[in-house]
C-alpha cells in the first residue's frame, strides 16, 4: 500500500510517498510559495491559501512522477502544517485575506489583553497553555483581524487553522458544522479543552473585546484527534492532484507534532524539531498537569490516549542563517573546525531572542543579546556561541517540562537541521549531559505518512506504523571532559536568561570577567599549557 504524507512548512510544501509494507520512501518532492513580509510592518508574516494549494498540486505531481507510479495507487493522504497559521473565511469557506502565518507577530497587544483578563479571572484554560496567551495564537490573531479590517467583519463566517483549512478544502466540505477541527490546533492555540467544555466561554471573550461577541458560534466543527477521518478526497481535488477520488484524509495536525511521530518518538520522549524555529514536543501520561511557561498541555494532541506537551524557540535556523549572512558566508563554513572548541571557548554568550522568546518566558518584546565581544572575535565565534545558547535554552525548557513530574526516556533532535549539523547535535548532548538521538534520515513528512497509513487501514495504531515507517537513529553521547565546563557555563546562562527576561538578580559586574575566563581557558588549552 502506498500513502502520501504532506508537510506544509514556512517556505515550501513537501510531499512524501511511502510504501507501508517495507517502510520504503518512494519519492519526496517539494514546491515553494512566497512568504509576505513588509519593511513598513516588520511584525507581518503572511501567505496566500491559493499559493499553498498550487504548490501542493505541483509537489504531488512531482512526487508521483519521481516514484514512477500511477496516482491511483495512493491509498490515503494526510497533511500537517505550521501553526498557529490562521485564515479568516466567508460563508463559502473562501479566504477573506491572507493567512496570519505562525511568525506573524502583529497581534501582540491582543494577546496581552487576553492574558491580562484571563489572569485576573484565574481562567483555567490559561493555565493549560503555560499562563500566558501568545501573540502567535488563534484568538489574538482573530481579534487583530476584526480590529483592523472593519470592512470585512460582516463577511467573516469562521476562522481556520491551516491544517483544518487544507483538510476542509481537499475534502470539498462546504458547511461550517462539518469542518474537521484538529484537537492539536484547538488545544494548543485556541484554549480548547474537554475539561472545561471546549472553547473558553463566550462571556470571557466578549469581555476581552465586544468584537468577539458570538465568535464561538462561528468556530463550530468536529473537534477530533488525528486517528479520526476528516473526510475523503473530493473529485475536484483528486483531478488537481492526480490521485483517486474518495481516498481517506485524516484530521490534520501541526508539523512539529507529526515530525515528532516521524522521528519515532514514543511516550516519555522529548523531541526538538529543529528548523527555522524549534518546536519541542513531549508526550506524558494522561493526568499530567499544566506547567507555567510551556506553550500547551493538551490531551490527545500528538498520540490519542497521551497528553501532548509543546514548547519551543521562536528562531533557531533563522539565527544561524542571519549570522552567516551578515558574515557573507554560510552556516556549514562557519561551523568548520568548531568541534574542538571547549565550553564557552569563544568567550561569548548569546541569548538567542532574535525573534523573541516563546518558552519559558513567552515574551515577544525581547531581542538577542551577545556578551563578551573583543576585537579578535569572528563570525565563527558567534556561531559557536549561538549553538551553545540554543542548547542551553533547550536545557531550560527540558528542565521545565520535567518539573511537571514526567521522566524523560530519550531526547531526540528532529527537523531539517540536525541531519546537516553534527556540531549542533554534539553540543546539545554535551550541554544536556544526556545521549541525543538523531534520525538517520530526515523524518520530515514521515509523520504525515504514519497518519495516512493508519487512516488507510494499513496499521491499527500510530505506534505500529512508526515501527515500520520511521528511520533508525544515530546516538551522540555527551563528552565527559565537557561536563564541568558546561555546568559552569549553563549556570551563567541561566542567571542571564532570567535576569534579562524576568528581572531576576544578577551580579552584572561578574559576567564579563567570567566569560573572559572561559576564553582564556580555551586559549591555554590550545597552547597545551595548564
pLDDT digits (tens, 9 = 90+) for 296-348: 889 999 988 899 999 999 899 999 999 999 999 999 999 999 999 999 999 99
d(CA 153, CA 523): 63
- Whether the pLDDT of residue 211 is over 70: the answer is yes
Work out the pLDDT band at 416, boundaries 50, 70, 90. Answer: confident
What are the cell numbers at 322?
542571519
- In whole angstroms, give the CA distance from residue 284 to residue 183: 16
The pLDDT of residue 530: 46
Residues 251, 231 contacting (CB under 8 angstroms)? no
C-alpha cell at 192: 480548547
Query: 470 CB contacts (<8 Å, ≥6 apart)?
Result: 23, 261, 262, 263, 264, 439, 443, 446, 450
C-alpha cell at 514: 567570567
> Boundaries of CATH 3.30.420.40 in the chain?
2-254, 265-442+479-529
Q: Is the pLDDT of residue 529 over 60?
A: no
Q: Is the pLDDT of residue 243 over 60?
A: yes
Half-sphere exposure of 111 (CA within 13 A, CB side): 22
Note the pLDDT tens digit of each residue in 23-61: 999 999 999 999 999 999 999 999 999 999 999 999 999
Cell numbers describing residue 336: 568548520
Look at residue 431 in the predicted model and tell me its pLDDT: 98
pLDDT band for 392, please (50, 70, 90 cuts): very high
Average per-residue pLDDT in the chain? 94
Q: Give percent above pLDDT 70 in the chain.
A: 99
- Residues of the chain above pLDDT 90, percent: 85
d(CA 167, CA 224) in angstroms, rounded, equals: 13
- pLDDT at position 528, please? 59
- pTM beyond cutoff 0.85: yes
Distance CA 311, CA 278 (A): 8
Q: Please state which CATH number belongs to domain 2-254.
A: 3.30.420.40
Inter-CA distances, 361 with 48, 110, 312, 350, 508, Å: 31, 18, 11, 16, 21
CATH superfamily of 265-442+479-529: ATPase, nucleotide binding domain (3.30.420.40)
Amino acid at each position: 500500500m502506498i500513502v502520501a504524507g504532506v508537510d506544509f512548512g514556512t517556505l515550501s510544501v513537501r510531499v512524501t510517498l511511502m510504501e507501508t509494507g517495507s517502510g520504503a520512501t518512494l519519492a519526496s518532492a517539494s514546491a515553494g510559495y512566497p512568504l509576505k513580509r513588509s519593511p513598513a510592518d516588520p511584525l507581518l508574516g503572511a501567505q496566500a491559501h491559493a499559493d499553498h494549494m498550487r504548490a501542493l498540486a505541483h509537489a504531488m505531481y512531482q512526487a508521483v512522477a519521481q516514484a514512477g507510479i500511477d496516482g491511483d495507487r495512493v491509498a490515503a493522504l494526510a497533511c500537517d502544517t505550521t501553526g498557529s497559521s490562521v485564515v479568516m473565511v466567508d460563508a463559502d469557506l473562501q479566504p477573506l485575506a491572507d493567512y496570519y502565518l505562525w511568525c506573524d507577530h502583529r497581534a501582540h497587544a491582543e494577546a496581552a489583553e487576553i492574558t491580562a483578563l484571563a489572569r485576573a479571572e484565574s481562567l483555567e484554560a490559561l493555565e493549560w497553555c503555560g499562563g500566558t496567551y501568545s501573540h502567535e495564537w488563534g484568538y489574538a490573531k482573530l481579534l487583530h483581524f476584526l480590529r483592523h479590517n472593519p470592512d470585512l467583519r460582516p463577511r467573516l463566517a469562521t476562522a481556520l487553522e491551516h491544517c483544518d483549512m487544507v483538510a476542509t478544502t481537499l475534502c470539498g466540505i462546504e458547511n461550517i458544522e462539518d469542518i474537521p477541527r484538529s484537537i492539536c490546533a484547538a488545544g494548543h492555540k485556541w484554549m480548547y479543552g474537554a475539561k472545561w467544555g471546549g472553547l473558553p466561554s463566550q462571556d470571557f471573550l466578549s469581555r476581552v473585546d465586544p468584537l468577539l461577541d458570538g465568535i464561538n458560534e462561528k468556530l463550530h466543527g468536529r473537534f477530533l484527534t488525528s486517528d479520526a477521518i476528516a473526510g475523503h478526497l473530493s473529485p475536484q481535488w483528486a483531478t488537481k492532484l492526480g490521485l483517486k477520488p474518495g481516498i481517506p484524509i485524516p484530521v490534520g495536525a501541526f508539523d512539529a507534532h507529526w515530525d515528532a511521530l516521524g522521528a519515532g518518538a514514543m511516550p516519555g520522549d522529548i523531541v526538538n524539531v529543529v528548523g527555522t524555529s524549534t518546536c519541542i514536543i513531549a508526550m506524558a501520561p494522561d493526568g499530567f498537569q499544566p506547567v507555567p511557561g510551556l506553550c500547551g498541555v493538551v490531551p490527545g494532541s500528538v498520540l490519542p490516549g497521551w497528553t501532548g506537551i509543546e514548547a519551543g524557540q521562536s528562531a533557531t535556523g533563522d539565527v544561524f542563517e542571519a549570522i552567516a549572512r551578515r558574515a557573507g558566508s554560510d552556516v556549514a563554513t562557519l561551523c568548520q573546525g568548531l568541534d574542538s572548541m571547549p565550553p564557552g571557548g569563544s568567550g561569548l554568550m548569546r541569548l538567542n531572542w532574535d525573534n523573541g522568546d516563546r518558552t519559558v518566558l513567552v515574551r515577544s518584546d525581547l531581542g538577542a543579546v551577545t556578551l563578551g565581544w573583543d576585537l579578535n572575535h569572528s563570525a565563527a565565534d558567534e556561531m559557536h556561541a549561538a549553538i551553545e545558547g540554543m542548547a542551553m535554552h533547550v536545557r531550560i525548557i527540558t528542565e521545565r517540562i520535567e518539573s511537571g513530574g514526567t521522566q524523560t526516556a530519550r531526547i531526540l533532535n528532529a527537523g531539517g537541521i540536525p541531519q546537516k549539523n553534527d556540531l549542533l547535535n554534539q553540543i546539545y548532548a554535551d550541554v544536556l549531559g544526556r545521549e541525543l538521538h538523531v534520525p538517520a534520515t530526515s523524518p520530515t513528512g514521515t509523520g504525515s505518512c504514519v497518519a495516512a497509513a493508519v487512516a488507510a487501514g494499513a496499521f491499527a495504531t500510530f505506534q505500529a506504523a512508526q515501527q515500520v515507517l520511521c528511520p533508525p537513529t544515530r546516538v551522540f553521547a555527551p563528552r565527559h571532559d565537557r561536563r564541568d565546563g558546561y555546568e559552569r557555563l549553563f549556570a551563567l546562562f541561566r542567571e542571564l536568561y532570567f535576569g534579562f527576561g524576568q528581572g531576576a538578580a544578577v551580579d552584572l559586574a561578574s559576567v564579563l570577567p567570567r566569560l573572559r575566563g572561559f576564553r582564556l581557558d580555551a586559549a591555554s588549552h590550545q597552547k597545551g599549557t595548564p
